[in-house]
Chain A
Amino acid sequence: MPSSSEAAIVVDGVTKSFGKVEALRGVNLTVEPGIVFGLLGPNGAGKTTLVNILATLQRPSSGSASVAGYDAVREASRVRSAIGLAGQFAAVDDQLTGLENIEMVGRLYHLPGEVAKRRARTLIEQFGLEDAADRQAKTYSGGMRRRLDLAAAIVNEPQVLFLDEPTTGLDPRSRIELWAVIDELAKGGTTVLLTTQYLEEADRLASYIAVVDHGLVIAQGTATELKERVGGRVLAVRLRDAAQIDPARGILQAFGDTPYVDVAAHEVTVAVGSEPGVVAEIIRALDAGNITVADLQFRQPSLDDVFLALTGRAAEEVDAELATASRSGARA
C-alpha cells in the first residue's frame, strides 16, 4: 500500500542492455513524493531508457523499480493507472481536436465519459488552449502540441508524472510557457520526474537533480549543491596566441580544478570560487606570465561544466564516446 510518507519512485540496481550496448548499468534512485526531480545528462546517457522502464514501456534487464508503491514489472497495470507520461515526441492525434485528444486519453484512463469531458475542458483552459480547443491538432504549433500532450498526460491527475525532455525543440518563449505549466503542476503536489540536457532547465524546475552518464548516476543533489561542485562560477579565458594555451593552463590550474582547453577556440575554461578578488588575481597572474588575453568572461555553469567537474570531460565527448561504443558494439 502506498502511503504519503513512502517514496514516489524507487530504482534499485536497474540495468538495461540492448544487445551488447548497456544503456543502464546499475541505477539507484529514490524520489520523494511531491517534488520535481531532474534527471540531467547528455544524449544517450540512459535517461529515456530509465523513464521507459518506470513508465512500464520496457522491462529492466535486472534490478527492480517501483512507482507510487507498485512494482513496475509485476504490478505494471497499477503503475499505469498512477502515472502520466509525456514523451520526447508529443503524442497527440493530429486528426483529433485538442479537446478530443484529452478526452480520449481520459476515457482510456477509465474516467467516466462526463468526467473525461469536464477534465478536458478544464485542462484546455488551464493550458491556454481554449481558442484552439475545437481545432484539429495538426494546426497546432510545436509549443501548443507539447502543452496538449502535457494536458493529456495529467488528465487522470497522476501521482507521478514523467516528462521526457519536455522542452527539447521548443523556441525560448514556448519553453518559458511550458516551465510555468510544470511549476503549477509541482505546486499542486504532483511528483514530477523530468529529464533534460540543460542544466538551466533542471536548475529552474527541479528541487533535486541526479546527473546521469553512461547509464550510471554519477552525482545527486540540489542544483546549488551541484553548482558548488562545479565551483560556483566558470571563467573562460580566450587567448590571442594558441602557443600560450599550455602556459595559461598551468597558471589557471592554481585557481580551480582541471582547467578545460578548447584548442580550436584558443580558450581555457576553469571553475573558480566565488570569493571576491579572484578575478583581479587571475588577471595579475596571467599578466605576470606574459599571457595575452583576447577576452575574459564569466558564464553560468552549463551542463558541460558540471560534466567537466564531475567526470573531467565535456558532454559532447561523452556523446562521441557513446556513438563509438554503440558502433563497435562493445563498451569500455
Chain B
Amino acid sequence: MTTTTRTMPAAASEGGLRWALHDSFVMTRRNLLRYVRLPENLVGLTVQPVMFLLLFTYVLGGAMSVTTPDYITFLLPGILVQTVVFGAFATALGLAQDAQSGLFDRFRSLPIARSAVIVGRLTADLLADIFVAALMIGVGYLIGFRFGGTLLESIASPAIAILFALPIAGLFAAIGLTARSVESVNVIGFVAIFPITFISSAFVPVESMPGWLQPVADNNPFTHAVNASRALALGQNSDGAVLATLIWAAILLVIAIPLGVRAYNRPR
C-alpha cells in the first residue's frame, strides 16, 4: 500500500459536505481575489451603477412623474435590481474565461466537490452584489433617498433583489459554461437582459408606457422584483409582488440547477 507514504490527506472525499463547503470556500476566495485584482471588474462593479443612479436622477429625474415622494426613491430599487441582475454577466463571463483558459480541466481533475466551481463563483458574485447594494444605498442616501419602512423591510428590500438575481446568475452560469467564447457571452447577455430590465417598472411607472407594452411590462418577472424591492423600501404593501418574486426565483432556480450541472459535466 503505497498511499500511506504519501502526503495524501483524508482523500477521496468528494461526497462529504464539509469538504464541499471547504472547496467552495477556496473557489470563492479565488474569485474574490480576481475581483480585486482586475481593475476593470471593480470599475464595472462600482462606478457604473453609481453613474446610472446619478444620471437618471439628475438628467431624467425632472421629467419623471412618479407616485413616490421623489424620483430617487422610485429609482433606487429599480437600479438596484437591474445592477444585481446585470451581475449575472460576471458569473457567466468568469466561468467562460475559466473554461477557455484550461483551468477547468485542472479543476475537473481535482478531488473536489463537483458543485464547488459553480458555488464558489455564485458566492463571490453574491458577495459582490451585497457590496454594490450597500454602496448604492449609501450614495442614494447622500442624494436624498430614504427608506420609509421598518429596519427589517429596509434590509429585505435589497435582499429580495439579490435573491431574485441569484437564480438568473445560475442560468447565466450554464450559458457561460456552454458558450463558445467570452465574446458570445457578452452578446447573449446584452441582448437578453437589456430589454428585459428596461421594459419594466425599474425606471418609469408601467402606466406611462403605451397600452400595448403595459401587459408585457406588467408580466415581466423583473417588474415583480422591482415592485417588491420598491414596496419594501417604502414600507408599503407590495400587492403580491414579494410573493410573485419568490415564486419566479424558485422557478428560475429549478431551471438553472440542472442546466448548470449538465453544462459543468459536459466533456469539452
Interfacial residues, chain A to chain B (CB-CB below 8 A): 1-4, 33, 52, 55-58, 68, 75, 77-78, 80-83, 85, 87-96, 100, 104-105, 107-112, 115, 136, 152-153, 156-157, 159
Contact = CB atoms under 8 A, between A and B. Distances in A.
Interface string B1-36: 111001111111111000100110010001001100
Contacts of B19: 110
Interface in B86-124: 101-112, 116
Nearest to B13: A110
Contacts, number: 113
Contacts of B13: 77, 110
A82 B102 contact: no
B30 A96 contact: yes
Given A93-B30, A112-B9, A159 B111 contact: no
B3 A82 contact: yes
Contacts of B33: 95-96, 100
Given A88-B102, A91-B102, A95-B38, A109 B110 contact: yes
Contacts of B112: 108
A136 B13 CA distance: 31
A156 B111 CA distance: 11
A159 B6 contact: yes
A104 B7 contact: no
Contact of A57 (B8, B12, B26, B267): B267
A159 B7 CA distance: 11
Given A110-B22, A115-B7, A87 B106 contact: yes
Interface of B: 1-3, 6-15, 19, 22-23, 26, 30, 33-34, 37-38, 101-112, 116, 267
B24 to A, nearest CB: 11
A148 to B, nearest CB: 12
A94 to B, nearest CB: 8
A80 B111 contact: yes
Ranked 9 nearest A-B pairs via Cβ? A81-B11, A89-B102, A91-B106, A80-B111, A85-B109, A77-B14, A95-B37, A81-B111, A91-B102
A107 B111 contact: no
A95 B34 contact: yes
Nearest to A158: B6
Contact of A77 (B9, B37, B111): B111
A108 to B, nearest CB: 5
Contacts of A95: 33-34, 37-38
A105 B9 CA distance: 14
A57 B104 CA distance: 10
Contact of B3 (A2, A57, A96): A2
B207 to A, nearest CB: 47
Contact of B108 (A2, A57, A75): A57
A152 B14 contact: no
Q: Residue among B7, B8, B33, B111 with the most chain A CB within 10 A? A: B111
Contact of A108 (B101, B110, B267): B110
A95 B1 CA distance: 39
B103 to A, nearest CB: 5
A89 B101 contact: yes
B119 to A, nearest CB: 13
B105 A85 contact: yes
A187 to B, nearest CB: 16
B34 to A, nearest CB: 5
B26 A159 contact: no
Nearest to A4: B2
A89 B97 CA distance: 13
A292 B7 CA distance: 66
B8 A56 contact: no
Contacts of B111: 77-78, 80-81, 108-110
Contacts of B104: 91
A107 B1 contact: no
Nearest to A96: B33
A52 B112 CA distance: 17
Contacts of B1: 1-3
Given A80-B14, A109-B9, A156-B8, 13 more contacts: A1-B1, A2-B2, A3-B1, A77-B15, A78-B12, A81-B111, A91-B102, A96-B34, A105-B110, A108-B23, A136-B37, A156-B6, A159-B2
